[in-house]
Amino acid sequence: MKKTYINGVQIWSFDSRWQLVNYAFKAKRILIAINSEKILHATDETCKLINNNIGYVDGIGALWALRKKGLKDVVKIPGCELWLDIIRSGYLKKTFYLIGGKQEVIDATVSKLRIEFPGIQIINYHNGYIESEEKISLLIDDVAVRKPDVVFVGMGSPKQELFMEKMQRHHEAVYQGLGGSFDVYTGYVKRAPEWWVKNNLEWAYRLMKQPRRIKRQILLLRFFWLLLLNRY
């Protein structure tokens, strides 16, 4: 388990997702998925937030970068799978708090989790629509009072990371940003088939299904080109 800096972003290299899960419960920090976009668009603010927590390899671009640095054993750990591994690691002993998605999505997520993991201790949950400062404060207070072991937040970056940073000041726990993982888990959004995922081509499948993502994928090509030129 090593830490490497790429464009100022500190990235942890784990050789398995279970190594990351075990470390997360020891460190009790925010788990932040790192991909090529986060590296390319790194600012002093985002670097500080990521580097104070645990940035792990979620995207193929980050995986390429670390392997080019000589870290051959590092593995890519999709965030949409990691949160379920965290639950599996001790759902009868740990308590969970879920935030994010539309109301119907978070309701469906909690219902499915209670079926898939009988006895899971979900102590509270909330949708992702908490725009006012008053609602934010009330939610942070609720987390601080209930003291969950794990908090999952699905709001998209960087909103979810900034929100988790606020909560972390009031209650120490394992925090993970999930983006749209609740939508994927409940079937509201379809993930790439297994073959595409296993062959690190999930980005290509998503581009094929959503051509409007072409601008984001051009960034991946730009990032790969910079790697070839040893700019990182």
Per-residue H/E/C for the chain: CEEEEECCEEEEECCCHHHHHHHHHHHCCEEEEECHHHHHCCCHHHHHHHHCCEEEECCHHHHHHHHHCCCCCCCCCCHHHHHHHHHHCCCCCCEEEEEECCHHHHHHHHHHHHHHCCCCEEEEEECCCCCCHHHHHHHHHHHHHHCCCEEEEECCCCHHHHHHHHHHHHCCCEEEECCCHHHHHHCCCCCCCHHHHHCCCHHHHHHHHCHHHHHHHHHHHHHHHHHHCCCC
Average pLDDT, the chain: 88
* 29 neighbors 47 (Cβ within 8 angstroms): no
Residue 60 has pLDDT above 90, yes or no: no
Residue 108, token pair as written in the block: 């469906």
Residue 178, token pair as written in the block: 């999930």
Least confident of 15-19, 113-117, 192-196: 192-196
Residue 198 has pLDDT above 80, yes or no: no
In the chain, the domains with their CATH numbers are: 1-77+194-232 (no CATH), 79-191 (3.40.50.2300)
Round to whole Å and give the CA distance between 189 and 154: 14
pTM of the model: 0.87
Residue 203 has pLDDT above 80, yes or no: no
Least confident of 49-53, 123-127, 129-133, 223-227: 223-227
Could you read off the pLDDT of 157-193 as tens digits, one per residue? Answer: 889 999 999 999 999 999 999 999 999 999 987 766 7
Looking from the CA of 48 toward its CB, the CA atoms found within 13 Å total 5
Q: Give the pLDDT confidence score for residue 37 in this predicted structure.
A: 85
Burial class (CB in 10 A: 0-12, 13-18, 19+), 161: buried
> Could you tell me what percent of the chain has a pLDDT over 70?
84
Could you read off the pLDDT of 32-46 as tens digits, one per residue? Answer: 999 888 888 889 999
Q: Give the pLDDT confidence score for residue 200 in this predicted structure.
A: 65
Query: Across-strand partners of 11?
Result: 4
Q: Give the pLDDT confidence score for residue 1 in this predicted structure.
A: 79
Could you read off the pLDDT of 97-148 as tens digits, one per residue? Answer: 999 999 999 999 999 999 999 999 999 999 999 888 899 999 999 999 999 9
